[in-house]
């Protein structure tokens, strides 16, 4: 199975990506991690990416698509993979579709974790963590048992907040996300590929809803799914 998982900052996409990838025993692929691995490999493409990143520029879509195409051709992706936060543009979506077609494969699921912007702002702006052990907390949802003392390691007065987790900066990140992903969602909606999941639910419920989408599609397609050249939700 080949899955694209999308969702705004703070909606829990990373957590759900790990859970789904583990449940279905497929690799979780994120471009950030792939960039780091490619740079570390020292191959020609890795050197090219390193030069671009070190110059402070964004990696062009054609290079990102080439990197994705190389990665999904590896043996561990033979039974499927989950793309975490990719594609981000229509150009990347088209590039992914082309790469899959050249491999005789097709995208099975595009799952959008949806969430209300104001609730996300409240969720993200309320986050803080222990600087000693990185244990995460929240002003509303997960307070330490004893004020200013970490439940996990016992450190006192070690709580910190990310500088970009202010309501104003979170709103900017959400605006950028919506601006970038709206065309991608429209692209996939036109192909009737997108399923939406409420990301403001309990973490386990979100996982269950995503799994239900995947399992229903597999059951509907039956044993022919593996050979299907054009599966749909």
Question: Which CATH architecture is the domain 2-116+177-219 placed in?
Answer: 3-Layer(aba) Sandwich (3.40)
CA dist 10 and 62 (Å) reads: 28
The more confident residue out of 102 and 219 is: 102
What pTM did the predictor assign? 0.80
CA dist 205 and 79 (Å) reads: 26
Report how far apart, in Å, the C-alpha atoms of 161 and of each of 15, 173, 195 are.
Answer: 20, 17, 33
The verdict on whether 173 is a catalytic residue reads: yes
pLDDT tens for 115-152 read: 999 999 998 999 999 999 989 999 988 899 999 999 99
Residue 32 confidence class, pLDDT cut points 50, 70, 90: confident
Pick the catalytic residue from 105, 158, 171, 173.
173
Pick the catalytic residue from 50, 66, 105, 127.
127
Cα dihedral across residues 12, 14, 19, 23: positive or negative:
positive
Q: What is the average per-residue pLDDT within 167-176?
A: 91
């Amino acid at each position: 199975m080949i899955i694209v998982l999308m969702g705004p900052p703070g909606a829990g996409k990373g957590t759900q990506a790990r859970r789904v990838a583990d449940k279905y025993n497929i690799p979780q692929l994120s471009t950030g991690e792939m960039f780091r691995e490619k740079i570390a490999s020292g191959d020609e493409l890795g050197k090219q990416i390193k030069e671009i990143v070190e110059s402070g520029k964004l990696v062009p879509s054609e290079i990102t698509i080439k990197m994705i195409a190389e990665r999904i051709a590896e043996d561990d992706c033979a039974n499927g993979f989950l793309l975490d936060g990719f594609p981000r543009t229509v150009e990347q979506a088209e590039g992914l579709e082309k790469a899959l077609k050249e491999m005789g494969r097709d995208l099975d699921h595009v799952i959008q974790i949806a969430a209300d912007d104001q609730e996300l702002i409240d969720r993200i702006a309320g986050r803080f963590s222990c600087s000693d052990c990185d244990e995460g907390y929240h002003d509303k949802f997960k307070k330490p048992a004893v004020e200013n003392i970490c439940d996990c390691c016992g450190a006192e007065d070690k709580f910190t907040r990310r500088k970009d987790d202010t309501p104003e900066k979170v709103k900017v990140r959400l605006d950028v996300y919506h601006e970038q992903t709206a065309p991608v969602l429209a692209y996939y909606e036109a192909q009737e590929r997108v399923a939406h999941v409420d990301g403001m639910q309990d973490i386990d419920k979100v996982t269950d809803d995503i799994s239900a989408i995947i399992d229903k599609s597999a059951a509907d397609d039956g044993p022919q799914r593996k050979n299907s050249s054009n599966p749909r939700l």
